[in-house]
Structure 1
Amino acid sequence: MSQPWVPFDDRGLSYGDGVFETILLCQGRPMLWALHVKRLLEGCRRLAIDPPDESALAATWQAPPGGEWEVLKIIVTRGSGGRGYAVPEVATPRLMSRRVPFQPDPSAWRQGVGVRICSLRLARQPCLAGIKHLNRLENVLARQEWQTPAYREGLLADSHDMVVEATSMNLFWQQEGRLMTPALDQCGVAGTLRAGLIEAQHVVPAQLALDELAAVNRLWLANSVQGVWPISALWSSEGACLRRWEPPQDDPLQAVAHPLLGYPATP
């Protein structure tokens, strides 16, 4: 059960010392639950936090549904205590959760979205690559780079100018008939929808340099809550339009991704 407040000395609040998951519920049932649990447990392992047991995690969603679609957020922190950055000898991890109503955006599925390249570059840190830890300050700074609704998302490259992700979604592209996504062994969040597509061999991890981005056949953004958004226009950080794409009539990524979320394969 979620507690209504966080103590001042909670290490998640003080240092980002914890992990979180954001999960789509369809009529009360969590989509991609096994992959969310797997990533949360991997994050706890990397940070050396004792993970909650699976019954405690399952209790976060085992309640009557509040509508057709909801979003469940789960946060696990190391708990309270410790002097400075040193972790306490005995820590009691804290589990918190919240469910809120959600409405997907079918217009983005059908018409696509405009995105911009962010000026901020992600730092490489393999120890944290892939997990969804609580320190998302790079994403917060990147999201402050634009206010106009013409851009629904911002694309992030790392310090070596390799494309990594968007501020809150994974990136996918098609080239020569293959569906690909950035390999996230240096930085970035390995999304659960991305993991499901890789496991099913629909998508393969690859490298994509920033200066190659505008030349691919097609681009998409996707995550386990919003589904798949085709990219219809790509803008530079200076505001120049680099490329436009027509949304596909039969979207090959939506066809394999949306059934994993309970969304229609052809919106």
Structure 2
Amino acid sequence: MSVVTKLVNGQPAETINLADRGLQFGDGVFRTIKVMNGEPIWWARHYAKLARDCAQIGIVAPSEATLLADIEQLKPNNHTLKIMVTRGETARGYVAPADLPPNRIVQIAPLPAYSPDLATQGVTLRTSSTRASWQPALAGIKHLNRLENILARREWSDPGIFDGLMFDRDDHLIEGVMSNVLVLIDGVLCTPDLSESGVAGVCRDMTLLAAARLGIPTAVCQIRREQLSTATALWVCNSLAGLLPVVALDDWRWPVSALQRDLRTTLFAMKDE
């Protein structure tokens, strides 16, 4: 008996209708969640973010109970869980009926093979030449059209580079290709303002809460490229890799500090809050 790893609208499947708008236009949203010992990490926040993203582009989100039933059917243990919600199926053309039933795709896959040394020895980044576009209507949403990130990721093949940093047209730091960014400047843990561009990740939110628990001041603000030269620490984070210290970005270098270790330890001791 084959193991079920993919569901479409609650049914085992390996294909989707070619009329699906997620396939045609990237018309949908998604979440990527780490599952450890059968528990989706930070589930409540991921579901709330999925529901908000759906609402922002006018898609009816599946209920939490529906998605939990899908997850139970897949029985993930230590896996990557990916949930996609598309607007549904239409003929070609951008117009879609308001009452179009959405499609949901829930699937599991092995966790990425990140070395545990990354958490203690840090990661190396590069600057991406691909710019993050300005679009307030989509800012913060994890939508299915990730072409900017794909183009940015094509810029390097060196396995020693963990991620690339993306800036907007005005040279403000936005995010990593696959991560959010946090920067310690003058004792304040800063993360880029994503009200006009980028994806607001759950691990970013949780890291800000962990910093507050440690008494570290935090700020969501614009960060210009040149300000990185004055930073005393950098981190990148996402829901699969967690929070990782940055030791190199292009020609800049930073040591791994006790603060970076403490922040990661505090973050991973936290449940949904």
Answering whether residue 158 of structure 2 is matched by residue 158 of structure 1, we say no
**Given that residues 31 and 84 in structure 2 are in contact (C-alpha distance below 8 angstroms), is that contact kept between their aligned partners in structure 1?**
yes
Query: Which whole-Å CA distance do the structure 1 matches of 2:142 and 2:202 have between them?
Result: 11
Q: Equivalents in 2 of 1:127, 1:101: separation in Å?
A: 33
Shift of 1:66: 4.8
| Partner AA of 2:96 in structure 1 | V
1:195 aligned residue: 205
Q: Name the Cα RMSD after superposition.
A: 1.9
> Which residue is 1:175 aligned to?
185
Q: Which of 201, 205, 220 pairs up with 1:205? A: 220
How far does the alpha carbon of each residue in 1:17-39 deviate from its partner, in whole angstroms, 9 at most, with x for none?
A: 00000001110111111111111
Residue-by-residue CA offset, 1:185-243 (whole Å, 9 max, x unaligned): 011110001122335663431221012112201101011111111111111xxxxx2x1
Q: Secondary structure in 1 aligned to 2:129?
A: strand
Secondary structure of the structure 1 residue equivalent to 2:79: strand
Q: Which residue of 1 aligns with 2:155?
A: 145
> Which stretch shifts more, 96-105 or 29-38?
96-105
- Cα displacement (A) at 1:92: 1.3
Indicate the SS of the match to 1:260: coil
Instruction: Find the partner of 1:94 among 72, 85, 103.
Output: 103
Q: Does 1:47 align with 2:62?
A: no
Q: Which moved more, 1:16-25 or 1:93-102?
A: 93-102
1:109/1:200 Cα in 2 relative to 1: closer, same or farther (>3 Å)?
closer
TM-aligned CA distance change 1:261 to 1:210, over 3 Å: farther
Q: Letter of the aligned partner of 1:219 in structure 2?
A: L
Q: 1:63 to 1:248 in 2, by over 3 A?
A: farther
1:220 paired residue among 229, 235, 250: 235
Structure 2 counterpart SS, 1:131: coil
Letter in 1 for 2:159: P
Say which is worse superposed, 186-195 or 199-208, in terms of deviation.
199-208
Conservation of the 8 A alpha-carbon contact between 2:210 and 2:267: no
SS at match of 1:60: helix
- Partner residue of 2:31? 21
Q: Secondary structure at the match of 1:181?
A: strand
Q: What amino acid does structure 1 have at the position aligned with 2:102?
A: P
Judge conservation of contact 1:170–1:191 (CA < 8 Å) in 2. yes
| Offset of residue 108 of structure 1 | 0.6
Residues 125-136 of structure 1: matches in 2 within 5 Å? 125-136=135-146
Deviation, 1:84, is 0.4
Gaps of 5+ in 1: 236-240, 263-267
2:87 pairs with 1:78: yes
Residue equivalent to 1:186? 196
Cα pair distance change 1:40/1:208, threshold 3 Å: same
Query: What residue in structure 2 maps to residue 121 of structure 1?
Result: 131
- Alpha-carbon distance in 2 for matches of 1:154, 1:189: 15
Deviations, residues 86-113 of structure 1 (Å, cap 9, x unaligned): 1135311001111122244311101101
